[in-house]
């Protein structure tokens, strides 16, 4: 989990660095493609870990591929493409995923909402509203919609859907195989966007240089191939809430790395909203265990 925290925290910084050299669509596809090579190699080498998925399972796996990869990364990269959204702000918005998980537990896991959990979820979503409406640089605590922060918001919900719905799939597929199937299908779902933007995609490939290639390779190998497999291995061995608590540390890594590597700052409203999100998520999780 410590390795996962470092890889995912630094991913927010690597995304900002890569987006200097390419579009958010190009980055999404290249990150998937570089990870796909490794996952395909894994599937070819480790046949003892399970059979290929049945045809009837493909629609569900494709939906999970959209939640966990296509939708999640497209919206995250679109949001971070906004120069007013720092790596730390994006990480704080993603940190709300456990609040979405707690909300999803009501219809999916048939859990009841306690007073404490309700208050925690409300606090977390209030914190998200602060970051979307008040944390724009120069807003001086006046309402000013941050389109970039708003674009990142669906990624938090998609991450929750992928984790909650994907946990049940671990009964049928080993963790690395599950991630491999969903990212391969997620890559296929990204292809139509690549084809629509084919001209700019080719321009990105021709102009990115090693400054663009290196963060893409980092994103494909470490936060995607290694960390996603570790995440679902953790979910197979521990409660989702306990595993989700480790994500707070990756948020801290993203904030510190953004400051040290990119020279970023967080607005007071961003810090306030982020603090509300994390406090709300902690309250919701503690109340859920009670």
> Along the 290 residues of the chain, how does pLDDT read in single tens digits?
788 889 999 999 999 999 999 999 999 999 999 999 999 998 888 766 556 788 888 999 999 999 999 999 999 999 999 988 888 888 888 888 877 877 776 777 666 667 777 787 788 878 878 777 765 554 444 445 568 888 998 998 998 888 888 877 767 777 788 889 999 999 999 999 999 999 999 999 999 999 999 999 999 999 999 988 787 777 667 665 566 666 667 878 888 898 889 888 777 777 788 788 888 777 776 765 54
Q: Is the Cβ–Cβ distance between 9 and 249 less than 8 Å?
A: yes
Single pTM value for the model = 0.85
Cα separation values, 155 from 67, 152, 195, 200, 221, Å = 8, 6, 23, 24, 20
Quickly tell me which residue has 């296509």 as its tokens: 70
Q: How far apart are CA 232 and CA 188, in angstroms?
A: 22
- Calculate the alpha carbon distances from 70 to 1, 63, 91, 137 in Å: 24, 10, 18, 29
Tokens read off for 128:
């998200």
pLDDT of residue 154: 93
Contact 101, 243 (CB under 8 A): no
Q: Supply the pLDDT for residue 163.
A: 80
Radius of gyration over alpha carbons of the chain, in Å? 18
Closest CA to 156 of 87, 78, 100, 231: 100
- What is residue 136's three-state secondary structure? coil
Placement of tokens 């291995």 in the chain: 233
Neighbours of 215 (CB within 10 A): 26
Q: Residue 85 CB: number of other CB atoms within 10 A?
A: 28
């Amino acid at each position: 989990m410590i390795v996962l925290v470092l890889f995912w925290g630094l991913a927010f910084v690597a995304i900002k660095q890569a987006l200097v050299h390419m579009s958010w669509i190009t980055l999404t596809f290249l990150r998937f493609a570089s990870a796909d090579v490794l996952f395909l190699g894994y599937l070819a080498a480790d046949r003892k870990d399970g059979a290929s998925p049945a045809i009837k399972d493909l629609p569900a796996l494709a939906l999970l591929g959209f939640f966990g990869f296509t939708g999640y990364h497209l919206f995250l990269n679109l949001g971070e493409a906004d120069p007013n959204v720092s790596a730390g702000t994006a990480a704080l918005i993603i940190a709300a995923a456990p609040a979405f998980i707690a909300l999803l537990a009501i219809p999916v896991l048939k859990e009841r909402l306690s007073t404490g959990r309700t208050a925690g979820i409300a606090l977390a979503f209030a914190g998200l509203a602060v970051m979307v409406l008040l944390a724009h640089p120069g807003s001086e605590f006046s309402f000013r919609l941050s389109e970039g922060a708003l674009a990142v918001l669906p990624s938090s919900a998609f991450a929750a859907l992928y984790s909650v719905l994907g946990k049940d799939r671990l009964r049928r597929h080993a963790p690395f195989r599950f991630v491999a199937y969903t990212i391969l299908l997620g890559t296929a779902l990204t292809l139509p966007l690549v084809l629509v933007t084919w001209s700019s995609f080719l321009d990105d490939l021709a102009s990115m240089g090693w400054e663009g290639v290196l963060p893409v390779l980092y994103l494909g190998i470490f936060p995607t191939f290694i960390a996603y497999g570790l995440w679902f291995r953790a979910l197979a061995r521990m409660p989702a809430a306990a595993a989700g608590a480790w994500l707070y540390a990756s948020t801290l890594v993203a904030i510190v790395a953004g400051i040290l590597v990119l020279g970023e700052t967080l607005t007071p409203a961003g810090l306030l909203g982020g603090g509300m999100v994390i406090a709300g998520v902690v309250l919701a999780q503690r109340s859920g265990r009670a």
